[in-house]
Amino acid sequence: MSPDKFVITKDTIVNEVINKYPESDKVFTRFGVDMCCGGVQSIEKTAIACNVKNLDELVDALNEVIPKPEPVQSTEPAPEKSSTVEDAAGKEVKETPPPPPVTETTGSEKLEITGTVTVKDIIKNYPQTKGVFSKYGLLECGGEYGPEEAVYFFARVHNVDADCLIKELNDVIQGKVDAPEISAEDLDTAYENIYVKFIKTAIVIALTTGCVYGAFMLFYMGIQHSLYAVSKVLIETHGHTQIFGWCGLFIMGVSYFIIPRFYAVKLYSGRLANLSFYFMVAGILLVFLFRTLLPLLNSPFFKLLIIAGCLLEVLAILIFLLVVFKTILAAEKQELETYEGFLISGYLWFLVQALVLTGATLYMLKVGETVLPHILIYPLRHIQVMGFIILVIFGVLSRTIPAFLGLKTPNPKLNLLIMLGLNFSIILRATSQPLMAYFVDVNLPAYSIFNSLYFTSGCLEFVFILLFIYNLNIFTKPEVDFSGMEIEKSYEKFVWAGIFWLIFAEAAMLIFTFFETAGTPVSHALIGAYRHAVTVGFITMLIFGFASRIIPISQGIKLHSYTLLTKIFILLNVGCAIRVIFQPVAIHTGSTSAFWLMGISGFIESLAILLFGINIWKTINKGKQGTEDDEVHDEISTVTATTNVYHLIKQHPQTIDVLVSKGFTQLKIPILRNTLTRAINIGQAIKINPTNLDQLLIDLNESLKAGKD
């Protein structure tokens, strides 16, 4: 194909056609083709998505709109035919595979942003667009310049109409409308990133009174060959800091970050959000410290401080719910989406479990005990884990995973059924289990009723969790192809591993429920192993995965180390597997080796959390300090077909003249050099602007040699 001709095929990207031949838009409209995925798909894929019956007719019709070259007046000499034809087309339009992030024009004409340009490039080159992002509550996402994500993908993930956002950005850039103003308050709080203090504190708690504290207790149990070698008070305070500190603070912080972006509004009150943090941390410390000391000194003052800690936690959760619900209501939505049902019910269970715990603590202190009533421990843990943490995670998963992976949106009716079914099963289990234990020696008919309800709750939970996983559509082919956009996917392995552990744990739970309702007690070792598969295998796995995805984006940088993330993934899975396997083996066989393996599993998991903390902490600090625009790459000494164009011209600016002389005139414009070239190599470039590859490589390598002389 000659450089002055452009033949449209089914593999051509939609935006490539429209950018070079604007009149082709009418043809697409006539055939019922919309700008699927911002126009970043091929004509064939887009036609399939839009149910176009005759692809060949569409391609023929598009080729018919290609204008015949005609000479035009030019203020500059045009010695070559190719440059004259280029002017005759009306615009200097260039493209990338995938489609161009912008449309290039010459002279006084404007640049037009399309779906693949990154948010960071938009804000850096056009600071006035900050007002548009602020309007949708997205200004503080990614630091000063926003994340290095394609704007189409960015909009889709944040539930913003991509076409509307891109149009508004172009209108502002092209001067058609004034940029929306950003209030002084918005500017003051735009990059505060309230969630950071929650995340960092959650990590500190996990590495002190949470996971590491638990690891030492588990190691001591291994040495003593008994799960009862450690005081119940220490186990309960460890569990408390895990639920409220590690998981609670993490979920609160992430919620303050994602809720405004899910609804494209601002957080209701940063001041109240900060207040909830201080109340929660103070409450956790008071409860942990003085419940631990209570058996040593049964002081009324200690009891008062424990009650104060519980009340501070309840107050923190009430403030959290106020901020979250006020933020949601600010969106003025007419209908709730199904993922919101998971989130809202999870948040409400957060409050319920805190109230139940406070009541149980008051009763414990009143009767002079130092541990919670045994009859409430298992129901309370189920509300905390399944009702609060997992339902919130399910809400985030059902909202983000389809968007991240380009999957079909979960069936809303089925999701609604799943959400209601899971909540019903949680209520059944939380009420039937203590009543079943109460009536076992008191009233046999009543015991039988609650025993049946308990078994029903286990079956419902298992079925609805499997349905939820199925409805995520993670086993289906993606509907949207993000192959042209640089999207980080290292978090995906955590999601898949977490789902595996959840299925494993729920299968174990169902078996245990069957035995319990049949009158066969299940050992504490097996129950502990099941719960560990949920809390570490699923919950912590998902926390690690989503943190590695969300936090770098929020800082507008890459994760500190993806190699370290892989090591974290391996350590967490190995530690969890050893604990789940060898805890019941040790208890039921008495094997010394099994006890030792059980004992060290906690340290393996703690190491994973330590490395995770380092990785996230450095990422956050790196985002605050600011980073260089680009990563360091190996020096290019020889140009080949696989050489990246962006890094070539970055290291050797003299090569721009060679490329421009070969017809790549779009490289004259700085923003195009910084966006169009990032995901393209020399071999791909010549497919856009056909030229002799061998001669181009010779000229480029001679340019490199000349630059060294």
89 and 122 belong to one structural domain: no
The pLDDT of 324-344, averaged and rounded, is 85
Residue after which a domain boundary falls, among 168, 189, 210: 189
Share the mean pLDDT of the chain. 82
Helix (H) or strand (E) holding 112: strand 112-113
* pLDDT at res. 77: 41
Mean pLDDT of 535-554: 90
Q: Is residue 303 assigned to a domain?
A: no
Q: Domain for residue 260, yes or no?
A: no
pLDDT at 99: 37
Write down the pLDDT at residue 630.
43
418 pLDDT band, cuts 50/70/90, is very high
Average pLDDT score over residue span 217-221: 95
Query: Which of 18-22, 117-121, 193-197, 550-554 is most confident?
Result: 193-197
For residue 143, is it within any domain?
yes
Claim to verify: residue 566 and residue 695 sit in the same structural domain: no
Percent of the chain's residues with pLDDT above 70? 78
**Given this model, what pLDDT does residue 54 score?**
78
Predicted confidence (pLDDT) at residue 448 exceeds the cutoff of 50:
yes
Closest of 259, 271, 377 to residue 329, by C-alpha: 259
Token duo for residue 169: 């950005």
Backbone phi, psi, residue 31, to 5°: -90, 5
Domain CATH code at residue 165:
1.10.3910
Q: What's the pTM?
A: 0.69
Residues 499, 597, single domain; the answer is yes
Q: Which residues, in sequence order, are CB contacts of 470 under 8 Å at separation 6+? A: none
Range of the domain at 141: 117-189
Give residue-wise pLDDT tens across range 570-627: 999 999 999 999 999 999 999 999 999 999 999 999 999 999 999 999 988 876 554 4
> Six-digit token pair at 78?
């045009």
Whether residues 81 and 43 share a domain: the answer is yes
Mean of pLDDT values over 228-238: 94
Q: Does residue 185 surpass a pLDDT of 70?
A: no
Q: Is cis: bond before 98, omega within 30 of 0?
A: yes
Structure tokens at 679: 């995901």
pLDDT of residue 195: 87
Q: Are residues 559 and 680 in the same domain?
A: no
Per-residue confidence band for 493, with pLDDT thresholds at 50, 70 and 90: very high
**Same domain for 492 and 540:** yes
* Residue that wins the pLDDT comparison between 403 and 671: 403
Q: Which of 628, 653, 684 is the last residue of a domain?
A: 628
Residue 95 above 70 pLDDT?
Answer: no
Q: Name which residue leads in pLDDT, 159 or 575.
A: 575
Scanning 24-112, the segments in alpha helix (DSSP H) are: 24-30, 43-49, 55-64, 81-88
Q: Say whether pLDDT at 239 is over 90.
A: yes
- The stretch 12-30 carries a mean pLDDT of 71
pLDDT of 51-85, one tens digit each?
A: 676 788 888 888 887 766 544 444 444 444 333 33
Q: What pLDDT was estimated at residue 191?
A: 46
Residue 54 domain flag: yes
pLDDT at residue 123 tops 90: no
- Same domain for 660 and 692: yes
Q: Check residue 8 and give its pLDDT.
A: 82
What is the count of structural domains for the chain? 4
Q: pLDDT: is 29 or 485 the higher one?
A: 29
Q: What angle do CA 285, 287, 289 make, to 5 degrees?
A: 65
| For residue 199, pLDDT beyond 60 | yes
Whether residues 53 and 88 fall in one domain: yes
pLDDT above 60 for 545: yes
Question: What does the angle CA 163 – CA 164 – CA 166 come to, to the nearest 5 degrees?
Answer: 65
Q: Which two tokens mark 535? A: 């809390």
In this model, does residue 235 exceed pLDDT 90? yes
| Structure-token pair, residue 541 | 């796995």
Most confident residue range from 304-313, 480-489, 547-556: 304-313
* Same-domain status, 85 and 128: no
Q: Is the pLDDT of residue 243 over 80?
A: yes
Per the model's pLDDT, the better-predicted residue between 98 and 210 turns out to be: 210
Across the range 399-415, mean pLDDT stands at 86
pLDDT reported for residue 415:
93
| pLDDT value of residue 109 | 40
Q: Which residue has the higher pLDDT, 515 or 112?
A: 515
- Which residue type is seen at 262? F
Q: What is the pLDDT of residue 645?
A: 83
DSSP state of 113: E
- Asked whether residue 432 is domain-assigned, the answer is no
pLDDT class for 668, splitting at 50, 70, 90?
low
Does residue 146 carry a pLDDT above 70? no
Instruction: For residue 378, give Cα distances in angstroms to 51, 168, 432.
Output: 53, 53, 11
Q: 495 in a domain, yes or no?
A: yes
How high is the pLDDT of residue 173?
81
- 692 and 611 in a common domain: no
pLDDT number for residue 552: 83
Mean pLDDT of 436-455: 90
Nearest to 164 by CA among 153, 155, 154: 155
pLDDT for 563 equals 93
Shared domain for 63 and 165, answered yes or no, is: no
State the pLDDT at residue 178.
Answer: 77
Kindly report the length of the chain.
709
Q: Which pLDDT belongs to residue 629?
A: 44
User: φ and ψ at 22, to 5 degrees?
Assistant: -55, -30
The mean pLDDT value for 686-693 works out to 76
pLDDT tier for residue 88 given thresholds of 50, 70 and 90: very low
pLDDT number for residue 686: 78
Tokens read off for 36: 């699927």
* Distances in whole angstroms, Cα of residue 472 to Cα of each of 183, 412, 545: 39, 11, 17
pLDDT in tens, 259-269: 887 776 778 88
pLDDT for the residue 377: 92
What is the average pLDDT across 680-697? 79
Task: Please report, for residues 309, 370, 384, 438, the alpha-carbon distance to residue 376 in angstroms, rounded to integers and kept in the order given.
Answer: 20, 14, 12, 11
User: What is the rounded average pLDDT of the residues 554-580?
Assistant: 91
Of the candidates 495, 499, 522, 496, which has an alpha carbon nearest to the alpha carbon of residue 509? 522
Q: What per-residue confidence (pLDDT) applies to 145?
A: 53
Q: Is the domain of 53 the same as that of 166?
A: no
Residue at 653 is within a domain:
yes
Write the pLDDT tens digit of every residue in 303-320. 999 999 999 999 999 999
Q: Given 189, 221, 241, which residue is the final one in a domain? A: 189
Q: Is residue 443 part of a domain?
A: no
> Can you read off the two tokens belonging to residue 96?
């990338």
